[in-house]
Amino acid sequence: MFAREHIKYEPVDLPDRANMSDEEMRAAAKAFYENMRRRHTVRDYSDRPVSREIIEDCVRTAGTAPSGANHQPWHFVAISDPAFKKRIREAAEEEERRFYEGGAGDEWLKALEPIGTNDHKPHLEEAPWLIVIFAQRWGQFEDGTKYKNYYVPESTGIACGFLLAALHQAGLVSLTHTPNPMKFLNQMLSRPDSEKPIMIVAVGHPSENAKVPAVAKLKRPLNDILTIAE
């Protein structure tokens, strides 16, 4: 970050450097892939608690993501209070009913059929934690002067990816939920108008009878998602 009186370039030596052989790098890349391919979006949660410290460390990881001009234009609200989660579920389901009753359009609803979703969102109460991610469209110096943030959607999206990877690395499962609109979260969570809620992430342990849609196991092959020019 930066302070208003200290906006200047000051180079420092690279503080962390991984000196790995080619073989070690290949093994590390393969191991990370093997770990991440076991990540699944889960809607069925157990009542097993998750400590606040784990959530804090995962959000701390998200905060290391790169961002436009290093403005780090994000804020995370982690919620475990049952009453808060119930209010979020009720508000989210109200928006979801509008979505599934025609607001989404036939094409979108057809695309969702293999996923098996509807306007019923019990996971928003059952998961021990909800993490709401806000994108900060502008910031403020201590004197109240506003400054612009840059590449906000891209930066916040990268941070969300870091968060999901960290949660999986910690042995947890998660679900990204994006009711539209989500402005109710600003008022409910006392966040300023400069912030736009972009995602609710349900976090916890899967229930013993947790299911995932079969279609979720279908991933596009590498030659379909990668083009190499060399």
- Residues 6 or more apart whose Cβ sits within 8 Å of residue 88: 79, 124, 130, 132, 185, 188, 200
Name the more confident of 29 and 106: 29
The answer, yes or no, to whether residue 23 has pLDDT greater than 90, is yes
Q: pTM of this prediction? A: 0.93
* 178 contacts 200 by C-beta, under 8 angstroms: yes
pLDDT one-digit tens code per residue, 90-134: 999 998 888 888 788 889 788 888 888 889 999 999 999 999 999
Q: How far is CA 166 from the centre of its chain?
A: 10
Q: Does the domain spanning 41-225 belong to CATH 1.10.3720.10? A: no
Sorted by where each begins, the domain ranges of the chain are: 41-225
